[in-house]
Structure 1
């Protein structure tokens, strides 16, 4: 009886409140949505005990070292007062001519996505440690990794400034696909949506960490470059199998050492793409021709590489359904040495 009475009281109160709001010209449903929507937070939002808001704000106010830039924003390296080095991504500013209401809607959407991404933790992901909202953009704070991105590392390999043997390259491939597997198995599923060489960061031990995952819907100037799967040019429908295509491109680069933007891939001999080239060589029985000469060595390793060529070719299939899943890839790549 007591419970029923309380329910009656609460219902009666709600009815009175709604009636009063209607009298004042306020839509109760709109008011409810207003109360439940994400507030726009000011100041740094911190997800790491190693970072203090004032320390972060102080560091961001200084001139920081530019690490790189893209149409989506710029990366900086900054050192906090406690000695911690972090990487900061300043997203491309919102359109200045957008209505204020639209800007607020975009900010709320970005905040909700960032709160979700901040909860993701895996050794092969660049963990979001904090973010700062500015009037026209967001600053995202990540752990700093010293070796740089995979594109820069492979450029150094091609310039003979760095040796990268097959064991290390396989380690990188396995780490990348394990990061993808974690994202794809999240509930709700998280798609990287912008996987490419420049978004694979490497620490001092060449352990890969995926950057920019899950940010695609927040970035108006997304540029996937040569890693863009063919379905994105037709239907614009991006799925987990689209991520797999992008991984196939990374694996192809690790195996061949070739720059995916090399004019070679525009020539008939390459069949017009990395995937076409790998499939052609495989069908001709010449898969060894795809391998970077600097990693050819022991016969056992060569067998692993040839199997990896087959895996890369499968990932680069034009048909999404024919590509393996991230679960399949983790199993295949971690067991390569058993072939």
Structure 2
């Protein structure tokens, strides 16, 4: 009995103790529930103010973030700009007075020019000289007419000319006279080219008319093909498109084996006072509205082709006056069926060659059409002329 009573006491004590341990936990839970309800009540009692404050804080943060980003980007751009200026100031790009190859100093060229250089030709825009440098290299130098004495307009013009000459120096083709360099000294600009021993097409045709030089049809056709290939390069392979603007026999230089090279390419646009002397080589649209296009170059080529076929000077009195007189004469002879009468007697020979010459006359006539739209393009002419013979 005693043991059973003791067990009951122990059980009762344990149960009581357990109850006292659970009670605090229950009180804590009740306290938490009451606190959550209070907070919920407080929250529900003022939800608009809290929501507005929260929305305001979010918008303010976004706005400040955008402003901070813009300020940082602006500061970075300014720092980068000043950094680049600093680098350029510390390591400036050299500005030699002459560029490209071979290297020629202004002093060397001036010294060579002072030794009575041989005059190769003259034009209204400058003179061509044969110049032998100190190292024995022979070059052709064109001295352009002097610029107007120093003015703000002249300074701007010289800068523009230099930029354009840098661009022209990149042009490379077997039928172009490559600009090897240029020298600016005071108000005079000298252009340096490779020297061509056979002179210009104008010199060659003059010699042929005087029976001092024999130019067979094969050579003349090769010259025509070379000229049109040079124009094709300018019109279709250059970006942006380049125009010659002053194509005539004096600007066609003959290299070894009478390989033609076009000189003075692109000089007209950069020299406002550049004169296209010899109106017989200029398309009628150039005189009427001063508009020059690639089809104007084609007109000039047509006149040169006519000169190669007929052997005649377009300024010959037999044509009378007028820029398109040679073209009109060829067209009239073609319409009357007397084309063979227009061919230079010095190149008449084999029947096959004469047929080629007759077809070449037709090509020259269409190139000298009054309307630019009626003239073929340089790529079409390359195909036409190369089909006359195998090149």
TM-score range, shorter chain: 0.7 to 0.9
In 2, distance between residues paired with 1:250 and 1:271?
Answer: 13
Find the structure with the greater CA-based Rg.
2
Q: Distance in 2 between matches of 1:332 and 1:244?
A: 13
Alignment of 1:98-113 (within 5 A): 100-113=151-164
Structure 1 stretches of 4+ with a deviation exceeding 6 A read 15-18, 39-42
Residue aligning to 2:13: none
Are the structure 2 counterparts of residues 303 and 51 from structure 1 closer, same or farther at C-alpha, using a change threshold of 3 Å? Answer: same
Q: TM-score, normalised by structure 1?
A: 0.85
Question: What is the aligned counterpart of 1:204 among 256, 267, 278?
Answer: 256
Give the drift of 1:57: 4.7
Q: Does 1:293 align with 2:345?
A: yes
Question: Aligned pair in 2 of structure 1 residues 271, 6: CA closer, same or farther (>3 Å)?
Answer: closer
C-alpha separation in 1, matches of 2:151 and 2:243: 30
* CA apart distance, 1:17: 11
SS across alignment from 1:46: coil
Farther off after superposition, 59-68 or 327-336 = 59-68
Correspondent of 2:218 among 157, 160, 167: 167
Work out whether residues 177 and 263 of structure 2, in 8 Å CA contact, stay in contact via their aligned partners in 1: yes
Q: Which residue of 1 aligns with 2:363?
A: 311
Alignment of 1:69 with 2:122, yes or no, is yes
Mapping for residues 90-239 of structure 1, pairs under 5 Å = 90-96=143-149, 100-185=151-236, 186-219=238-271, 220-225=273-278, 226-239=280-293
Q: What's the Cα RMSD here?
A: 2.8
- Are 2:228 and 2:381, in contact at CA under 8 Å, matched by a contact in 1? yes
Partners of 2:387 and 2:304 lie apart in 1 by 19
Matched residue SS, 1:310: helix
Inter-CA distance 40–65: structure 2 relative to 1 (3 Å threshold): farther
Structure-2-length-normalised TM-score: 0.74
Gaps of 5+ in 1: 19-31
Q: Structure 2: state its 5+ residue gaps.
A: 1-67
Contact 2:284 2:323 in 1 (8 A): no
Higher relative contact order (CA 8 A, sep 6+): 1
Higher helix share: 2
Residue 143 of structure 2 aligns to a residue in which SS? strand
Would the aligned equivalents of 1:265 and 1:272 in 2 still touch at CA under 8 Å? Answer: no
